[in-house]
Amino acid sequence: MNAERHRKKLLSDILLAIEEIDLFFDGAKDFQSYKNDLKLRKAVERELKIIGEAMHRLLELAPDIEITDARKVVNLRNRIIHGYDKVVDEVIWGVLSKHLPTLKVQVEQLLKA
């Protein structure tokens, strides 16, 4: 696979994972519901791992890619995987509510370019 196609696939993987997270909430994002639903938390964490791994591969392929906090996305993935016992629901919720919408817009723009 050539580099541009690989880059677009990784971006598409990130976008799909974000869209799937959005679908998990049936339109209404509520922290208390998230915190009380083990399956929802685990599903979200799984998609965040996918986003982080795709971002890691993307940074290897295109280190200068214009994505805000790309390294932090990878670090979150590492924390979920290696520090699974230290994952804090409030931190994940902050990522979902504050950072994923920005990431989604940036990925969509990169895919259009």
* pLDDT tens-digit readout, 2-41: 988 999 999 999 999 999 999 998 767 889 989 999 999 9
Share of the chain above pLDDT 90, in %: 79
Domains identified in the chain and CATH numbers: 3-112 (1.20.58)
Question: Which of the 8 DSSP states describes residue 86?
Answer: G
User: Is residue 112 pLDDT above 70, yes or no?
Assistant: yes
pLDDT in tens, 47-78: 999 999 999 999 999 999 999 999 999 999 99
Residue type, 79: R
For residue 88, what is the DSSP state?
Answer: -
Measure the CA–CA gap between 26 and 11, rounded to whole angstroms: 24
Give the global pTM: 0.92
